[in-house]
């Protein structure tokens, strides 16, 4: 019975203080019918305490303990070692009775809201980063409290806020249900557009990874994933969907995602601008800031889990900001250095990083309270990430286009040098072949002639065999010399080369050769010309060796559709069908190789060889 009486007395005490509160200094906020959303930050009274203060003690605080928030947009308390109570009064002059309180800062550790009317005192729930997500009074990545106020009623609200040892900058908004849904849908559209653009950029870069097999596009794809993660982290979606029952990670995920993103960003920059220690004075600084960011990840986890003191968190916060800004500055200086060095793709990265730096500095100034600005939907730095991704993606495509042109120029240069080298080799071969041919013809040919004269003193079979052997050696020497001189094909046409050859033969042989050409000469490719030349050489060789002819005629007919060769001699003839020799077989084989036809008509006193080669074969 005593406990019941004590409880009733306590309720009376609360009601008495609640009634007294309505006559105290806070200016009531009149919520009218035409208002769907109101920023109530300027209507808030603030009480700060180094120690935990219970609700029953707060409502009995004297007037001078409360301080009015003078900023019309935000409640900016910076980094502090205190906990806070916020008090505000709402008078409902609209037809609605259901409202929502939204706290814009998504990283508050502990929130607890109480409402007091003339009829009741209510605890509207606890929430914050220290509590599982499903404990939130309203299912949202923001901290939102639903409450009800009847028309013409007045309600006093006390909001407990603990972000001890961290930066506290927030705004308080009152929404009608309709306006809150509009705000949620608007945020969802913004997030959908941002994530959609980033996913599209990711797909494009993964496609480039598949095509080019390049480390840059692979790491840039990882960077885009990191940016998506950092945006989701700052919006609280990772806590909502990935680890809703592990609130410890909600406090540090924003730090860890920012640190890992910057480390990857520096690495991508080094690949993008081809930064090496021998071409950049910022190379070692970039390597250092990359590893410092990675080292700060476990340090953050250690501080927030085992040493969550004001001094450690304060040092960590300002160290984090310094590292972030320093990292972006190093990227800026590195890309500016490459831009000055006339590496055009670096300009894209420089512009993107400059914009990101400006937005990052503004965001940190808002976060630390240097600038008083209320961010209700999407943080501007998130849009700067999107624009940065787009600019760098364009830069990567431009870089590949530039590399393709450079590779093509290099290929053309190498091809030109290769052709020049081959030309030099061919010229050298020409010179050597011509020299060897002349030596064979002039020196060895003359010595064989002198040897033949000496052999004439011999008699009988020995003399004939020796003379025949020397004739064969002389003929083979002459053929070798002419074959070595086939390099003339690079400069002359077939008819000219063959006519010169026959003219030379007429000086040394008893058989008289005549040559004629009808029609305009057709320029065959060198392989075809070589085969025709070797066939003609084989025919001339057979005439000289076997025909015993005094005269032979070679005629070239260049027709519209074919090239015809007719060779006639007045020798003893050949018996092709009975026992074709190796020379005839070689002739037919070479003519077939170039899709030609050969016909041999031979009788004693006349042999005619007709060769037909289609010109269409060359087109």
Quick: pLDDT tens for 297-353. 999 999 988 888 878 888 888 899 899 889 989 999 999 999 999 888 899 999 988
Q: How confident is the model at residue 379 (pLDDT cuts 50, 70, 90)?
A: low
Query: Residues 6 or more apart from 596 whose CB is under 8 A from it?
Result: 611, 612, 613, 614
526-542 vs 494-508: helix axis angle to the nearest 10?
Answer: 20
How far is the C-alpha of 485 from the C-alpha of 432, rounded, in Å? 10
CA distance to 278, 279, 599, 601, per residue, from 513 (Å)? 73, 73, 21, 19
Rounded to an integer, the average pLDDT of 108-124 is: 92
Averaged pLDDT for residues 589-618:
84
On the question of pLDDT at 383 being above 50, the answer is yes
β-pairing, 172-176 vs 37-39, is antiparallel
Q: What is the pLDDT of residue 18?
A: 43
pLDDT attached to residue 465: 64
* SS3 state at 370: coil
In this prediction the pTM is 0.62
How sure is the predictor about 475, in pLDDT bands with cuts at 50, 70 and 90?
A: low
| pLDDT-derived band at 483, boundaries 50, 70, 90 | low
Q: Above 60 in pLDDT, residue 579?
A: no
Structure tokens of 453? 């004269």
**Pair type for strands 512-518 and 551-558:** parallel
Cross-strand bridge partners of residue 534: none
Q: Are 90 and 29 contacting, i.e. CB atoms less than 8 angstroms apart?
A: yes
pLDDT in the model for residue 578: 44
Q: Which of 143-157, 190-204, 457-471 has the lowest mean pLDDT?
A: 457-471
Q: Give the orientation angle of helix 310-340 with respect to helix 283-306, to 10 degrees.
A: 160
| Cα diameter, the chain | 161
Burial of 420 (0-12, 13-18, 19+ CB in 10 A): exposed
Structural contact between residues 127 and 136, judged by C-beta atoms closer than 8 angstroms: yes
Q: State the average pLDDT over residues 234-244.
A: 85
pLDDT of res. 29: 65
CA distance 18 to 521: 118
pLDDT range class, residue 48, cuts 50, 70, 90: very high
Q: Give me the DSSP letters along 281-321.
A: TTHHHHHHHHHHHHHHHHHHHHHHHH---HHHHHHHHHHHH
Confidence of residue 36 (pLDDT cuts 50, 70, 90): confident
Average pLDDT value for residue range 149-173 = 89
Mean pLDDT in residue range 558-572: 89
- Mean pLDDT value across residues 475-495: 59
Torsion sign, CA atoms 143, 138, 241, 229:
negative
| pLDDT given at position 20 | 43
Is the confidence at residue 92, as pLDDT, over 90? no
Token pair of 497, please?
A: 């080369």
Mean residue pLDDT across the chain = 81
Q: What residues are paired with 100 via a beta bridge? A: 146, 175
Residue whose token pair is 């809703």: 244
Domains in the chain with CATH codes: 2-176 (2.60.40.2380), 214-378 (no CATH), 492-619 (3.30.565.10)
More confident of the two residues 389 and 419: 389
Mean pLDDT of 554-579: 81
Q: Give the helix ranges, DSSP H, for 440-525.
A: 445-455, 460-484, 494-508
Torsion of CA 540, 542, 543, 548, to 10 degrees: 160
- Do 116 and 21 meet the contact criterion of CB atoms below 8 Å apart? yes
The arithmetic mean of pLDDT across residues 90-115, rounded, is: 90
Q: Are 452 and 470 in contact (CB under 8 A)?
A: yes
- First CA to last CA across the chain, in angstroms? 118
Q: What is the pLDDT of residue 548?
A: 86
Per-residue confidence (pLDDT) for residue 8, from 0 to 100: 42
């Amino acid at each position: 019975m005593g406990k019941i009486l004590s409880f009733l007395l306590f309720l009376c005490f609360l009601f008495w203080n609640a009634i007294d509160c309505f006559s105290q200094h806070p200016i009531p906020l009149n919520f009218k019918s035409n208002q769907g959303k109101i920023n109530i930050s300027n209507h808030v009274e603030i009480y700060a305490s180094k120690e935990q203060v219970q609700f029953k003690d707060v409502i009995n605080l004297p007037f001078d303990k409360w301080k009015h928030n003078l900023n019309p947009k935000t409640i900016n308390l910076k980094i502090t070692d205190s906990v806070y109570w916020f008090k505000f009064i709402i008078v409902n002059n609209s037809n609605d009775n259901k409202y929502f309180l939204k706290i814009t800062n998504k990283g508050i550790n502990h929130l607890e809201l109480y409402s007091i009317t003339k009829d009741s005192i209510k605890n509207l729930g606890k929430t914050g980063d220290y509590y599982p997500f499903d404990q939130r009074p309203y299912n949202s990545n923001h901290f939102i409290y639903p409450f009800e106020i009847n028309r013409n009623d007045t309600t006093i609200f006390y909001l407990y806020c603990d972000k001890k040892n961290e930066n506290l900058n927030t705004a308080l908004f009152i929404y009608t249900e309709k306006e809150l849904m509009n705000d949620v849908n608007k945020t969802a559209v913004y997030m959908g557009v941002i994530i959609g653009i980033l996913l599209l950029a990711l797909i494009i870069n993964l496609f480039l990874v598949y095509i080019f097999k390049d480390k840059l596009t692979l790491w840039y794809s990882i960077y885009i994933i990191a940016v998506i993660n950092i945006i989701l982290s700052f919006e609280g979606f990772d806590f909502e969907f990935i680890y809703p029952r592990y609130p410890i990670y909600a406090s540090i995920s924003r730090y860890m995602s920012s640190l890992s993103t910057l480390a990857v960003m520096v690495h991508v920059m080094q690949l993008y601008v081809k930064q090496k220690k021998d071409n950049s004075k910022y190379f070692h600084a970039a390597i250092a800031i990359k590893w410092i960011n990675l080292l700060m990840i476990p340090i953050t986890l250690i501080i927030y889990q085992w040493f969550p003191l004001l001094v450690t968190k304060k040092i960590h916060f300002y160290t984090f900001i310094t590292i972030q800004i320093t990292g972006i500055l190093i990227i800026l200086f590195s890309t500016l250095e490459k831009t000055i060095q006339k590496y055009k793709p670096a300009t894209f990265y420089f512009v993107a990083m400059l914009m990101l730096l400006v937005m990052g500095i503004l965001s940190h100034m808002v976060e630390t309270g240097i600038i008083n600005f209320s961010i209700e939907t999407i943080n501007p730095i998130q849009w700067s990430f999107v624009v940065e991704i787009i600019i760098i993606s364009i830069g990567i495509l431009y870089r590949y286009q530039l590399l393709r042109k450079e590779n093509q120029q290099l290929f053309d240069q190498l091809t030109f040098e290769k052709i020049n080298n081959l030309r030099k080799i061919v010229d050298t071969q020409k010179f050597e072949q011509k020299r060897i041919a002349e030596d064979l013809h002039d020196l060895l040919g003359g010595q064989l002639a002198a040897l033949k004269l000496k052999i004439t003193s011999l008699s009988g079979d020995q003399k004939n065999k020796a003379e025949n052997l020397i004739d064969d050696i002389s003929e083979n020497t002459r053929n070798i010399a002419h074959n070595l001189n086939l390099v003339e094909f690079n400069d002359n046409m077939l008819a000219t080369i063959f006519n010169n050859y026959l003219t030379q033969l007429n000086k040394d042989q008893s058989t008289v050769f005549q040559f004629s050409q009808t029609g305009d000469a057709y320029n065959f490719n060198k392989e075809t010309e070589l085969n025709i030349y070797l066939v003609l050489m084989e025919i001339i060789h057979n005439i000289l060796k076997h025909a015993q002819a005094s005269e032979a005629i070679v005629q070239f007919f260049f027709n519209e559709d074919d090239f015809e060769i007719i060779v006639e001699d007045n020798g003893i003839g050949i018996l092709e069908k009975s026992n074709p020799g190796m020379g005839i077989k070689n002739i037919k084989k070479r003519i077939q190789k170039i899709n030609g036809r050969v016909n041999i008509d031979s009788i004693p006193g006349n042999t005619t060889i007709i060769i037909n080669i289609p010109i269409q074969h060359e087109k």
